Amino acid sequence: MNLKTFAGGLHPPDNKKWSADKPIELCPLPEELIIPAAQHIGAPAEICVAVGDTVKKGQMIAQAKGFVSVPIHASTSGEVIAIEPRLHPMGRPLPAVVIKPDGQDQWDDSLKPNDPEQLDSETLKSLIRDAGIVGMGGATFPTHVKLSPPEGKTIDTLILNGVECEPYLTADHRLMLEQSERLIDGIRILRKILGVKDTIIGIEANKPDAIEHLNKECAPHQIQIQPLKVQYPQGAEKQLIDACTSRQVPSGGLPMDCGVVVQNVGTCAAISDAVRLGRPLVERVATVTGPGIKEPKNLLVAVGTPLQHLVDQCGGLNGEPAKIIMGGPMMGQAQLSLEVPAIRGTSGLLIFREPDLQVRPAGPCIRCGRCVSVCPIHLQPTTIAAYARLDLIDEAEHYNALDCIECGCCTYICPAALPLVQSIRHAKGGIMAKRRKL
Amino acid sequence: MENQLYLSSSPHIHSGETTDKVMRLVIYALLPATLLSIYFFGLPALSVLLICTLGCPVFEALACKLRKQPLTLVDGSAALTGILLAMNLPPSCPWWIALFGAAVAILVGKQVYGGLGYNPFNPALVARVVLLISFPVQMTSWTAPAPLGSGIDAVTSATPLGEVKTAVMLTGKLPELATSGFGHYFTGDMAGCLGEVSAIALLLGGLFLLYKKVITWHIPVSFIGTVLAIGGIFWLVDPGRYPSPLFHLLTGGLLLGAFFMATDMVTSPVTYRGMLIFGCGCGLLTVLIRLFGGYPEGVSFAILLMNACTPLIDRYTRPKLYGQVESLKAEG
């Protein structure tokens, strides 16, 4: 097999075996759904329902504000019982619509199927926007924006991200195995919008079953399956583009600056629903796993389901949790509580117990250079971090701190246990604050 | 439950690599050479080793106390410095010189700069050079190997490199030992510092470090490669006056320096390109000092001089940023 990859990165133990063979299971609805108005990068949506309203599944409950924004929809039918700030995955209370399900799970009648063949690119894009589609790999950037390159930018390649390089997560893996028709339909819609022929699905070699399955399914559709060497962070846009096409996104630029659009496979499947069925993004596949979970699973989760409910569906907690992570262990976000809801960008819920975390104090940098050799952007993390610790923001900027993609490889590998990527984040914040002042 | 949750930001997992693991692996890698030096030089070697390996941590503890810093002995770096220092001393060196060397290595070579990670020069080499300049007689009195149990008393002898230097200066010609008897050098049956003696034991340790990924090939290969290349050129020009590359390789501290001293992470560049430049510089300086300098052996001076260049090398070998090729547009 011809395995491609990128320069740098590393290969942490993937720990996917716990859930890789578990078929996607429908997660029953919880007592109440907590649906935040902010589930994407860009302006939060504006809530447009009131307490006491009855809503149908797929009905808009918050409207998009501006171009880089998407509407939010009810994930089931029921009654709006509260509109109030609730604890958000971002770590603080943010406005949310709380829905008590009526048990009917009835779709909104006004949602009508469409035939993508009959629609033009602009209509397709507005359908995608109205369905609230965002990048489901975790970044949650509004998809219609990515599909709207400005004048003069030509897109010639569409890359589907089936890499799932984060350890533990298997949601995309299962989706590729079980829902390839949705995926392929989504690809055809995306190709129509972008007017591209070259389509590559990048999949790491640790998912041979998905590679084989999609090779078979995609053969009639001129979609190339590109097996990739297992290497984190291959699922990061820039690294995936490099691995699949040997092109590089210019520093400070976007994938479209090198003629590429990248979409996560889950997003692509959601696009098929949005167009063909007219159904908005109200549910997604998430992997509930980690040593702190009794029975790891891949669940089809309604947006707004509290994490506690997901844990309950997976046999409960295994021991005392010490860290609750939304997303993967390399780039996911630590959570304050299991009351937080799963949102559109929730690719997984990972629970560690105390002994699973290797907490130890940071020592001095011994200049071993490992962070330099693993950095996929080819930065000198230890140098930037040292400047950041001294608040020497200009120097950190000179060492290209802003190009850091925060993959965490440097911190992962550091023998001195230095919080390198954390310090670089601090420097990035300082640089952005300085630029705003100018 | 909520009170006991960790909220630190990503990444949430770690490779398990630790500084003390790195140090421990280097110590393991030095074991074959250490044991062989005890075998060849007997009790004097053992005592030098013990004084340095125990002395360095004692001075480290003392310095930590004076600086009101937490004890850093657990990281093993002081013990490693001790072993490396011992490897750089002649077995016959008096106990007080070894002890003084340990003090210099830890206090002057390392702690005055702020301890582990902050020293610009390799501490063991700083100590060796201080001792070489301060106690030239004791530091250049060598004994021929007297293997354990052989019943031979220590016999004064010169190192192969020393004999070459003297012979070339006096007669302008290489002595016989520079052209034959290489088998001795390979196993370590010759006079020299503890760590200069056995090529095979040092190679074994070096390969172990490469295999364990503690070091990369860049510094040892460029260092040794440059010595072989430059040494080889001189040898081809005048084989009667200049020793062969193999002689350069197997005698003196080249293998110890290339695998264990120049690769000291704190004092060498962090980029691969930087490491290559660093290694080539070490190699070039080593040959020049050996052939034309006042001292028979140049490895220590070469590494220390290149240590001084490390910040500069790091500055000029920054890796090419991802996406820098087409960034003209973005810069405008």
Contacts of A167 in chain B (CB under 8 A): 13
Determine the Cα angle at B218 with ends B217 and B221, to 5°: 75
What are A298-326's pLDDT values in tens digits? 999 999 999 999 999 999 999 999 999 99
pLDDT band at B26 (very low <50, low <70, confident <90, very high): very high
The CATH number that applies at residue A144 is: 3.40.50.11540
Listed residues A253, A277, A301: the one ending a domain: A277
* Min Cα separation A336/chain B (Å): 7
B229, pLDDT greater than 80: yes
Same domain, A267 and A146: yes
Amino acid B329: pLDDT: 44
What are B289-307's pLDDT values in tens digits? 999 988 888 899 999 999 9
Q: Mean pLDDT over residues A84-110, rounded?
A: 95
Amino acid B153: pLDDT: 61
Tally of domains within chain A? 2
pLDDT band at A71 (very low <50, low <70, confident <90, very high): very high
B52, pLDDT greater than 90: yes
B176, pLDDT greater than 60: yes
Q: Could A167 and B18 be called an inter-chain contact, meaning their C-beta atoms sit closer than 8 Å?
A: no
B29, pLDDT greater than 50: yes
Q: Do residues B98 and B55 make contact, with C-beta atoms less than 8 angstroms apart?
A: yes
Q: Which of residues 357-386 of A touch B (CB under 8 A)?
A: 357-360, 363-370, 372-373, 375-380, 382-383
What share of chain B in percent tops pLDDT 90? 59
Is residue A76 a part of any domain in this protein?
Answer: no
Listed residues A255, A277, A299: the one ending a domain: A277
A296, pLDDT greater than 80: yes
Amino acid A297: pLDDT: 96
- Side chain identity, residue B99: L
Same domain, A121 and A246: yes
Contacts of A422 in chain B (CB under 8 A): 8-9
Is residue A242 a part of any domain in this protein?
Answer: yes
Nearest residue of chain A to residue B8 (CA atoms): A334
Structure tokens of A242?
A: 């490099």
Q: Which residue has the tokens 């799932």?
A: A164
B330, pLDDT greater than 50: no
Is residue A9 a part of any domain in this protein?
Answer: no
Kindly write down the DSSP assignment for every residue of A318-358, as one continuous string. Answer: SS-EEEEEES-TTT-EE-S-TTSBP-TT--EEEEEEGGGS-
Nearest residue of chain B to residue A366 (CA atoms): B117
Q: Could A12 and B13 be called an inter-chain contact, meaning their C-beta atoms sit closer than 8 Å?
A: yes
Peptide bond into A233 cis (omega under 30): yes
* Min Cα separation B40/chain A (Å): 34
Amino acid B151: pLDDT: 61
Contacts of A406 in chain B (CB under 8 A): 10
pLDDT band at B2 (very low <50, low <70, confident <90, very high): very low
Q: Which of residues 96-135 of A touch B (CB under 8 A)?
A: none
Is residue A348 a part of any domain in this protein?
Answer: no
What are A220-237's pLDDT values in tens digits? 999 999 999 999 999 999
Residues in CB range of A292: below 8 A, 6 or more apart = A317, A318, A319, A321, A322, A351, A352, A353, A356
Q: Could A415 and B17 be called an inter-chain contact, meaning their C-beta atoms sit closer than 8 Å?
A: yes
Across A27-132, the runs of DSSP E, i.e. the strands, are 33-36, 46-47, 54-55, 60-63, 72-73, 78-87, 93-101
Cα–chain center distance at A113: 26
pLDDT band at A146 (very low <50, low <70, confident <90, very high): very high
Peptide bond into A28 cis (omega under 30): no
**Pick from A32, A26, A140, A30: which is nearest to A96 by CA?**
A32
In the sheet that holds A224-228, the strands lie side by side as: A224-228, A198-204, A157-161, A260-264
Between A359 and A78, name the one with better pLDDT.
A78
Is residue A215 a part of any domain in this protein?
Answer: yes
* Min Cα separation A198/chain B (Å): 22
Q: Mean pLDDT over residues A396-400, rounded?
A: 94
Is residue A31 a part of any domain in this protein?
Answer: no
Same domain, A234 and A378: no
Q: Could A411 and B14 be called an inter-chain contact, meaning their C-beta atoms sit closer than 8 Å?
A: yes
Amino acid B325: pLDDT: 59
B239, pLDDT greater than 70: yes
Query: pTM of the predicted model, to two decimals?
Result: 0.91
Nearest residue of chain B to residue A381 (CA atoms): B270
Does A153 reach chain B within 8 Å, measured CB to CB? Answer: no
Integer angstrom CA distances of residue A46 from A43, A65, A93, A96, A274: 9, 7, 16, 10, 21
Amino acid B155: pLDDT: 67
Same domain, A121 and A243: yes
What are B53-66's pLDDT values in tens digits? 999 999 999 999 99
- What is the span of the domain harbouring residue A376? 370-437
Listed residues A242, A262, A277: the one ending a domain: A277
Amino acid B3: pLDDT: 55
d(CA B74, CA B77): 8
Q: Mean pLDDT over residues A64-85, rounded?
A: 95
Amino acid B42: pLDDT: 87
Q: For A67-199, where are the alpha helices, taking DSSP H only?
A: 121-130, 143-146, 171-178, 180-194
List the single best residue of A412, A424, A426 to mutate versus B (max B Cβ within 10 A). Answer: A412
Amino acid B252: pLDDT: 83
Q: Could A322 and B4 be called an inter-chain contact, meaning their C-beta atoms sit closer than 8 Å?
A: yes
Same domain, A252 and A401: no
Q: Mean pLDDT over residues B43-57, rounded?
A: 94
List the single best residue of B270, B277, B328 to mutate versus A (max A Cβ within 10 A). Answer: B270
Label residue A148 exposed, middle or buried (CB < 10 Å: 0-12, 13-18, 19+). Answer: middle
Does A249 reach chain B within 8 Å, measured CB to CB? Answer: yes
Q: Could B4 and A412 be called an inter-chain contact, meaning their C-beta atoms sit closer than 8 Å?
A: no
Is residue A196 a part of any domain in this protein?
Answer: yes
Q: Which of residues 334-353 of A touch B (CB under 8 A)?
A: 334-337, 350, 352
First to last CA, chain B: 52
A395, pLDDT greater than 90: yes
Q: Could A372 and B22 be called an inter-chain contact, meaning their C-beta atoms sit closer than 8 Å?
A: no
ipTM of model: 0.90
**What is chain A's mean pLDDT, rounded?**
94
pLDDT band at B148 (very low <50, low <70, confident <90, very high): low
Q: Mean pLDDT over residues B312-326, rounded?
A: 85
Amino acid B188: pLDDT: 67
Q: Structural domain boundaries of chain B?
A: 19-138, 158-316
Amino acid A90: pLDDT: 92
* Min Cα separation B80/chain A (Å): 14
Q: Could B11 and A400 be called an inter-chain contact, meaning their C-beta atoms sit closer than 8 Å?
A: no
Nearest residue of chain A to residue B117 (CA atoms): A366
Is residue A337 a part of any domain in this protein?
Answer: no
Nearest residue of chain A to residue B215 (CA atoms): A368
**What is chain B's mean pLDDT, rounded?**
88
Nearest residue of chain B to residue A399 (CA atoms): B318
Q: Mean pLDDT over residues B207-226, rounded?
A: 96
The β-bridge relationship of strands A321-326 and A333-334 is antiparallel
